[in-house]
Amino acid sequence: MSGDAHRLGVAEIDRALARGEFSSAELTQHLLTRVAAHEQLGAFLAVDADAALAAARDADARRARGDATPLTGVPIAHKDIFVTRGLPTTAGSKMLAGYRSPFDATVVARLAAAGAVTLGKLNCDEFAMGSANENSAYGPVRNPWDPARVPGGSSGGSAAAVAARLLPAATGTDTGGSIRQPASFCGVTGIKPTYGVCSRYGMIAFASSLDQAGPLARSAEDCALLLSAMSGFDERDSTSAQRPPQDYHAQMLAPRDGATPAKPLAGLRIGLPREFFPAALAADVATAVRAALAEFEKLGATLVDVSLPRTELSIPVYYIIAPAEASSNLSRFDGVRYGHRAARYDDLLDMYKKTRAEGFGPEVKRRIMIGTYVLSHGYYDAYYLQAQKLRRMIADDFRQCFAQCDVIAGPVAPTVAWKLGEGSDDPVKAYLADIFTLPASLAGLPGMSVPAGFGAGGMPVGLQLIGNHFAEGTLLHAAHAFQQATDFHTREPQGVAA
């Protein structure tokens, strides 16, 4: 097998396996060796080489029988927020140290049914709370482009592993930007589908009305292949959208009406909210995003000025609603049924207190306290109820925008990835980094990050594309056309990917 097989994406691996250039077992062993050689990135929390190789051999047999999907034999890994029967699930927290689930999350099960080979579990901010992947109880993840910088969060382990060519794709979750922001910081492609497209069954809850699963991979084509397999209605999830299965890969390739090969995006209207281009936007990010938008124009798209006037309000709205839901969801971690339990305690109440004090990290405690406060008597109407009203108004702003355009575009984050430790003393600074991703999450809209250039220090810059509800195909089509005309998504971090 070629020594650079790790440079192949999902679609490329599918074609190589079909041609017999190498087996899934050979590729899996090659990637397992790379994972062990790059432990310093902190991307993986658990690896089961024996199970991965066994699954790879099964995939090879399945291909030999002619019973294969595009994902059969393709190695991936899962963010450690999805429960898995054969691997530990910690959610990046000491609270769940050593926990093993008796079942697989729906997303995990569906990808396994498609033949994907699971290498292991990926590091993440504790209970998916963070924008830097520094909140994990098992140490930070490092950005492959510069190990002194953060990879973004909370799906930082997923983004770093894909960027470092440890695997071609990974699962992630996005509550307020946790797929899009790390994808931007690490120079990979990531998509958060419409809320309800992917089942939340078996996904450890942070904020139930916001959490959504999605893939991170090299390209829009790779994301489309994964999303087709992992999405769909699930009767075990009451928030799952009742829609027929979608072939996002076919939607991505479908030509737009009247478009020619030279102008594949002819007729596409891209809205540019003025609020996404404030004076405080870093100059290097603005330059890369503007250059990417110029490329979209060359591909036939039309740029339209629009407005999302309540963009700034998305930060206080999100940081009221999300902690409120977290305080409720995380109340189940009390030492009674599963997870950590304090070794010494006087009575039941003392056990609760000590267990939660020992098991939760500082950021999780901070958000639980905020959430409990805004839900408490005398503050519910003033904070939580008002935040929900504003959430509806933010969704209305998007509705008005989509009357003028098909896709909304802008930066993913105000800056490139910052240095490790820079945001640890000022959590509000990290919260502000989510300003461009939070609005779409609050409105339940699909959004994706597409590699669009490089900024200060040679760090990647992502372009954010936001679509209307269930318009994943439109986003993937636009991103694919852009990636056919550019090579940003093929660039690799020096050294790590060799």
Question: Residue 15 in 3-state DSSP?
Answer: helix
178, 184, 314, 327: the active-site residue? 178
Of the residues 24, 79, 131, 155, which is catalytic? 79
23, 101, 131, 154: the catalytic one is 154
> Cα separation of 493 and 146, whole Å?
8
389 is catalytic: no
Do the beta carbons of residue 433 and residue 415 sit within 8 Å?
yes
DSSP summary character for residue 360? S
Residue with tokens 């382990």: 157
8 A C-beta contact, residue 407 and residue 398? no
Active site residue 178: yes
Decide: 127 and 89 in contact? Cβ < 8 Å: no
Three-state SS string across 297-349, please?
A: HHCCCEEEEECCCCCCCHHHHHHHHHHHHHHHHHHHCCCCCCCCCCCCCCCHH
Distances (CA, A) of 223 to 76, 150, 170, 295, 438: 12, 23, 9, 21, 21
Cβ atoms < 10 Å from Cβ of 424: 15
Contact in structure between 127 and 93 (CB atoms under 8 Å):
yes
328 in active site: no
**Which residues are catalytic, by number?**
79, 154, 178
